[in-house]
Chain A
């Protein structure tokens, strides 16, 4: 009675195998298939749209350049118009429609990735809010730079102009309708020492340091800030004719 019959060994082994495979299969499916499937088409759509946006941005840049050249060719040789052209260029420079370079600072701010890894390993409950860079942090930094007269600012190579937004997009930020991911690189053109001092002594910087975010701040002799690439819309506004 104690000796196993041959069929018992064989059938039991195969049954063990069946159970093992069944569970491994279930686990594999649960881990991978479910969430990815539905997101695929959305991700594809987003990528398509971003490609289209990039194309439009290039078109805008090309059209602006053509317009520029056209204006220049028309004003050449006419003294009165050349003065106007110069003023126009100046206005475009100030509006952020031209790339600029000069001295300034480069500030980088990253999510707390290492701290997040550690927290995950230790198994504590994770609130991603504590580990991500927030739109308000970036917005305040940019605002502080503007307040002391930074002449041009870019966030991850998106030029900050008067209509630029810095908006929360979950794990990312949106600026000028473009998705930006960490690390966030703020470049500001202006007196480097002043800009550095402003950030270092400002409340936002201290808050980020206090919450242990990975940041770097460097003064540079020469930084390049690209031109604004997105469209400018003025649908409702009209020019006011002044009396003089």
Chain B
């Protein structure tokens, strides 16, 4: 359960070490990539908690979502319309939904609901 959070922290430390630098022009793409991967992380955790996790779905979902987000950003740049808002909106909404489900499942697990009498 705590491994993903450990991974997140390790990633932050790796980022601090500046093993990767990206030109400022691609900051927008980077932002979308951050959202896509966060979305995948919480989506994965949620799927595990509700017992519906599937490796193929998880990994393919991560790569395809990121790819689609990049494409939207790129096309949006070309035609002068901020299409990546769509990706931000979807990923953002899903983050909240997934976190809500994770929260409820955890609450149920730690404080089991009392039987109605």
Contacts and interface: CB of A to CB of B under 8 A. Distances in A.
B15 A19 contact: yes
B59 A25 contact: no
A20 B21 contact: no
Given A15-B5, A15-B8, A24 B55 contact: no
Given A11-B48, A16-B14, A28 B27 contact: yes
B23 to A, nearest CB: 8
Contacts of A18: 8, 11, 34, 37-38, 40-41
Contacts of B7: 11-16, 19
A21 B24 CA distance: 13
Given A11-B3, A16-B8, A28-B27, A22 B15 contact: yes
A10 B44 contact: yes
Contacts of A19: 7-12, 14-15
A22 to B, nearest CB: 5
B24 A28 contact: yes
A31 B23 CA distance: 10
B80 interface: no
Interface residues of B, number: 37
A237 interface: no
A12 B41 CA distance: 8
Contacts of A26: 15
Contacts of A33: 24, 27
- The range of chain A's interface size is 20 to 34
A21 B6 CA distance: 15
Contact of B27 (A8, A12, A22, A29): A29
Contact of B58 (A11, A17, A31): A11
Contacts of A13: 7
A24 B10 contact: no
B53 A14 contact: no
A7 interface: yes
Given A15-B11, A21-B33, A27 B18 contact: yes
Contacts of A7: 44, 47-48, 53, 55, 58
A22 B33 CA distance: 9
B8 to A, nearest CB: 4
Nearest to A8: B3
A14 B38 CA distance: 8
B3 A17 contact: no
A32 interface: yes
B22 A28 contact: yes
A123 interface: no
B93 to A, nearest CB: 17
Contact of A10 (B6, B15, B33, B55): B55
Nearest to B55: A6
B92 interface: no
Interface of A: 4, 6-8, 10-29, 31-33
